[in-house]
Amino acid sequence: MAAVSLLDESRFGYLKPEDIERLSEAYRFSDAAHAGQKRQSGDPYISHPLAVAEILAEWHLDGQTLMAALLHDVLEDAAITKDEISDAFGPPVAELVDGVSKLDRIELQSAEEAQAENFRKMLLAMARDVRVILIKLADRLHNMRTLGAVPPAKRRRIARETMEIYAPIANRLGLNALYHELQELAFSHQHPLRYATLAKATRAARGNRREAISKIESAIKARLAASGIEASVTGREKHVYSTYRKMLEKHLSFSEVHDIHGVRVIVKDVPACYVGMGALHALYKPIPGKFKDYIAIPKANGYQSLHTALIGPYGGPVEVQIRTEEMHRLAESGVASHWMYKDDAESLSAVQKQTHRWLQSLLEIQNQSGDPQEFLEHVKVDLFPDEVYVFTPKGLIMSLPRGATAVDFAYAVHTDIGNRCVAAKVNGELVPLRSELRNGDRVEIITASHAKPNPAWLQFVRSGKARSNIRHFLKTMQYEESVRLGERLLDLALRGLGSALDDMDNASWERVVRDSGSDSRNAVLADIGLGKRLPAVVARRLLRHAEIPAETKPGAVVMIRGTEGMAVQLARCCRAIPGDDVIGSIKKGQGLVVHAATCRVALRSRRAEPEQWIDVEWAPDNHRLYQAEIRVTVANQRGVLGRVASEIAEAGSNIDSIAMEDDRALYTSMQFVLEVSDRKHLARVMRALRRLPDVKKLARVSDT
């Protein structure tokens, strides 16, 4: 294949002569690097990077991008370094090639982890320069077009990956034509029999529909012309995969899906869109609830159009899209329009800004998530948004994933707002933070300086940004609390050996940190607090390095103040409260878990693993509330629950939860989880309940 074929004037004529010369150099460099290599189809390998460059040339991308496309596999498949590419073609081209290249030189634990790390690097490189993902998408498109030469198992894996990652990224960047082609190709390789059957049925239906579509188009053209609107009207062909998805989602037969006719109308300006919509609503009756205005409120990827559904002349629905020429260009080319239509740069700047904001959010998520698979999970959430549009108190529009809650909105506004939110108002009314938002809602977030994220939020948030920020905060908080608990446990162990934490010098600590393979002193303390290291072992290592004789003394106990946070947990099996005798267990990954001394679970575990248990006591200045569980058997009378709840409130306690027996006869058993300050407070509550005539039996519930 000669280099001259690359420089086809019809494809590359938009470039400057010096760019074409540099492109020829890149072609020769890549051809030499891939000399002797063949694709699985048997074609010379250079045919692949050349095809990728040709796809990008259709989008009128710049010379640097086309050079990177020609060179995108040389780091992986040839003994070429990034520095060599940088010396020959400049640092920007080298960065683009590096961003696209896979991470086959990094040792990873599994294929899934390798793939997740791959996507992480690609998406982060894309956040720095969106051209990286455009090269990668063009690369994937050509690979999908030539996937027939690949073994079936690998073909299905690549097709699934394309459907789950690359097609949604193309959609997120507004590359509509590419999005649909990737979906069609992926579907044909994932489910070849289903694809072949539906494709055959679609071709057969096309002939039957031609007359109906032609009549609808003619009627629409005539009505628009009568209204003084210049317009281009075309029938929209249904894609095989979109037909299949609609059949699955709406439980329709093939004929029911193909009874829906699609028409696209392109007009000269925005006012003509709305005038045209009115004219068509007068021609055919609109279907209520099917009108969508994506011009006033564009989709997250910048897509703009008016959508409506009408009752056509044959009684079936007609789906109509009305847009301007600029909107149509953007709908087909998305973020690539920046390069394709530079004369419309100002009108197309909105999608660039939206894309930039999304790409920056990827960097923020990455900074908070060191795990590649967790990062990919967060990004996947944002790649399937099915958006809902809501308003800030100042009237700004925000796009969120369908099912998003007030917490998602808070994090979308700012990370600090999300971390400190305590309540939300939707359309002026207070609502729970877990409330799902609907299109058009006006949302206001109420914050407090002392507030912090709740782990329960992870059960209902929908956006990747919210999920990643909450996890990051909780990890940081747990780490800090674990360090503080680790200090207390290590000091306790050292005192039992006749020393104290304050006596340990920096040199001893440095040797212990180095020997343990940790990053820092705090990492060792956090491991102790999380139960990953035994405090007695670390204490003896410190003493050995400090050369202080280990003289065992009776150890002190760990005081439980109730303010330790996530590092200290109260076991739910026995729900210990101040006043109960307690013992503590250092559980790996959980920190210190406190049980009642008489708890059967604790006693069994203590016999099996005695080295994990330490003595603990309640601190005298304990002012927080704790959960205690009681079972109340009452006469089954009207209003009895209200009377019991009233007595509990009068005794100064809150009800956290309540459960009742389903089989209610003469007597009913109710189980309450109450908030009390200590054992004496619980005793006052139980005395108050015993005074009620309806109460027949009363006992505290615990695993003792």
Q: Give the tokens for residue 243.
A: 């037909």
Q: In the Cβ-directed half-sphere of 303, how many Cα atoms lie within 13 Å?
A: 24
Instruction: Examine the domain organization and report whether 123 and 171 are in the same domain.
Output: yes
549 or 215, which is more confident = 215
Nearest-angstrom CA–CA distance, 638 and 31: 88
CATH code for the domain in which residue 451 is found: 3.10.20.30
**Ordered alpha helix ranges (H), 369-405:** 372-383
Asked if the model's pLDDT at residue 106 lies above 50, the reply is no
Beta-ladder partners of 580: 578
Find the range with the poorest average confidence among 208-217, 361-370, 514-523: 361-370
Q: β-pairing, 261-267 with 317-324?
A: parallel
CATH code for the domain in which residue 181 is found: 1.10.3210.10
Instruction: Examine the domain organization and report whether 519 and 485 are in the same domain.
Output: yes
Asked if the model's pLDDT at residue 423 lies above 80, the reply is yes
Residue 528 maps to a domain: yes
Catalytic site residue 76?
Answer: yes
Instruction: Examine the domain organization and report whether 393 and 290 are in the same domain.
Output: no
pLDDT of residue 207: 65
358: left (phi over 0), alpha (psi -120 to 50) or beta: alpha
Residue numbers of the domain that contains 161: 3-190
pLDDT digits (tens, 9 = 90+) for 536-574: 778 877 887 655 444 444 455 677 766 666 667 788 888
Q: Which among 19, 25, 62, 77 is annotated as catalytic? A: 77
C-alpha dihedral, 4 to 9 to 15 to 16, nearest 10°? 80
> For the chain, how many residues are written?
704
Query: How many helices (H) and strands (E) in the chain?
Result: 29, 19
Asked if the model's pLDDT at residue 111 lies above 80, the reply is no
Instruction: Examine the domain organization and report whether 567 and 678 are in the same domain.
Output: no
Give the model's confidence band at 143: pLDDT under 50 very low, under 70 low, under 90 confident, else very high. Answer: very high
Question: If DSSP codes are grouped into helix, strand and coil, which group holds residue 292?
Answer: strand
DSSP secondary structure of 603-634? HHHHHH-GGGEEEEEE-SS--S-EEEEEEEEE
pLDDT of residue 496: 75
Give the model's confidence band at 698: pLDDT under 50 very low, under 70 low, under 90 confident, else very high. Answer: very high
Rg (CA), the chain: 33
Query: For residue 379, what are the contacts with CB-CB under 8 A and spacing of at least 6?
Result: 119, 123, 362, 365, 464
Instruction: Examine the domain organization and report whether 612 and 696 are in the same domain.
Output: no
Domain boundary among 514, 534, 552: 552
Residue 376 maps to a domain: no
Residue with tokens 């300006």: 269
How many Cβ atoms from other residues are within 10 Å of residue 481's Cβ?
Answer: 20
Instruction: Examine the domain organization and report whether 47 and 146 are in the same domain.
Output: yes
Residue 74 maps to a domain: yes
Domain boundary among 525, 552, 579: 552
Instruction: Examine the domain organization and report whether 472 and 583 are in the same domain.
Output: no
Q: β-pairing, 397-400 with 429-431?
A: unpaired
pLDDT digits (tens, 9 = 90+) for 264-309: 999 999 999 999 999 999 999 998 888 889 888 887 777 889 999 8
144 near 130, Cβ under 8 Å? no
CATH code for the domain in which residue 273 is found: 3.30.460.10
Asked if the model's pLDDT at residue 105 lies above 50, the reply is no
Catalytic site residue 77?
Answer: yes
Nearest-angstrom CA–CA distance, 533 and 589: 10
Q: Which among 76, 84, 181, 377 is annotated as catalytic? A: 76
Residue 339 maps to a domain: no
Nearest-angstrom CA–CA distance, 518 and 94: 35
Instruction: Examine the domain organization and report whether 86 and 172 are in the same domain.
Output: yes
Nearest-angstrom CA–CA distance, 141 and 55: 9
282 or 607, which is more confident = 282
Is the overall model pTM greater than 0.85, yes or no?
no
Q: Select, from the ranges 66-80, 273-287, 354-368, the one with the highest average predicted confidence (pLDDT).
A: 273-287
566 or 598, which is more confident = 598
CA 168 to chain centroid: 13
DSSP secondary structure of 130-161? THHHHHHHHHHHHHHHTGGGS-HHHHHHHHHH
How many Cβ atoms from other residues are within 10 Å of residue 238's Cβ?
Answer: 19
Query: Please, what is the average pLDDT of the chain?
Result: 81
pLDDT, average across residues 128-157? 87
654 near 676, Cβ under 8 Å? no
Domain boundary among 535, 552, 569: 552
Instruction: Examine the domain organization and report whether 182 and 226 are in the same domain.
Output: no
Number of domains making up the chain? 6
Nearest-angstrom CA–CA distance, 533 and 564: 19
Asked if the model's pLDDT at residue 202 lies above 60, the reply is yes
pLDDT, average across residues 93-112? 64
Instruction: Examine the domain organization and report whether 590 and 638 are in the same domain.
Output: no
Asked if the model's pLDDT at residue 2 lies above 60, the reply is no
Residue with tokens 């407070």: 681
pLDDT, average across residues 74-83? 81
